[in-house]
Amino acid sequence: MYNADLPSRAELPSSRQLLRSTAIALVVAVLVLVAVVLPAEYGLDPTGIGRVLGLTEMGEIKRQLAAEAEAEAGALVGAASAAGAADSSATPAPPISESPAADAPVGSSESAVAAGAGQAGGPVETTDGWRDVFSRTLAPAEGEEIKLTMQRGDSAVYEWSVDRGHLNSDLHTDDGPDGGSLSYRQGRAEERVSGEFTAASDGAHGWFWRNRSDEVVTVTLRLRGTYGAVRD
């Protein structure tokens, strides 16, 4: 330590050099912010570079899905509050006898799947190789959600398609490893998507669709893999 060479005063950068380096770093940071961060995160593209690189579309999808998720959360909170108020003022109903059909989880058999699909959007026949098939019909601007109960490490193979129009989608979980939401995949104006995902945590994992087309759309979801109950 005592024999280490120390720079002389002449070798140290001058105040002018330090100011110049700081200014260059500041300019570079501003350029990165304007050309990359704003388009990719917020869909803002003042330079036009983000649209050329495909970053602007990514940012627009993020903003749109975030707005839709916020609207859905607000609607759920309002519905829960109304339901709680109704339950507190309602007279307790007499107990209802249970039947074997009431104990069967959604999607536990092909017959249950076909029945549920018929109620939502017409009968759907289970395709060979698929464990479950579901159908949902969405009016313009309407949203729908289907979730799978999964343990961490479980995986599901899926395919969904629409009969007409297109849908925005978000394959996600609200039970992420950090306790918040986690998105596996997002898409906009899509007609057919297939793939596979592995649950990153215990909880409910699945799809949220929003119909941004001008016509009524029926989406059909086909599933197989290691998952438990299916709920919406």
Question: Which of 80, 95, 119 marks a domain boundary?
Answer: 80
pLDDT computed for residue 5 by the predictor: 66
Contacts of 54 by beta carbon, 8 Å cutoff, 6+ apart: none
Rounded to an integer, what distance in angstroms lies between the CA atom of residue 72 and that of residue 83? 16
pTM score:
0.49
Inside any domain, residue 219? yes
Q: How many domains does the chain have?
A: 2
Q: Are residues 74 and 153 in the same domain?
A: no
Burial (CB < 10 A; 0-12, 13-18, 19+), residue 207, is buried
CB 155 within 8 Å of CB 200: no
Q: Are residues 151 and 66 in the same domain?
A: no
**Can you tell me whether residue 80 is helix, strand or coil?**
helix
**Can you tell me whether residue 218 is helix, strand or coil?**
strand
Please report the sign of the dihedral spanned by the C-alpha atoms of residue 51, residue 54, residue 59, residue 64. Answer: positive
CB 148 within 8 Å of CB 213: no
Residue 80 banded pLDDT, cuts 50, 70, 90: low
Rounded to an integer, what distance in angstroms lies between the CA atom of residue 217 and that of residue 89? 38
- 87-105 pLDDT, tens digit per residue, is 554 444 444 333 333 333 3
Looking up tokens 């197989």, which residue turns up? 224
**Domain range for 44:** 14-80
Inside any domain, residue 85? no
pLDDT computed for residue 106 by the predictor: 37
Inside any domain, residue 1? no
Tokens of 184: 């596996």
- 181-223 pLDDT, tens digit per residue, is 999 999 999 999 999 999 999 999 999 999 999 999 999 999 9
- 151-161 pLDDT, tens digit per residue, is 999 999 999 99
Question: Which of 80, 99, 127 marks a domain boundary?
Answer: 80
Q: Are residues 60 and 113 in the same domain?
A: no
- 28-59 pLDDT, tens digit per residue, is 888 888 888 877 777 787 878 877 777 777 76
Element (H, E) at 220: strand 217-225
Inside any domain, residue 128? yes
Inside any domain, residue 196? yes
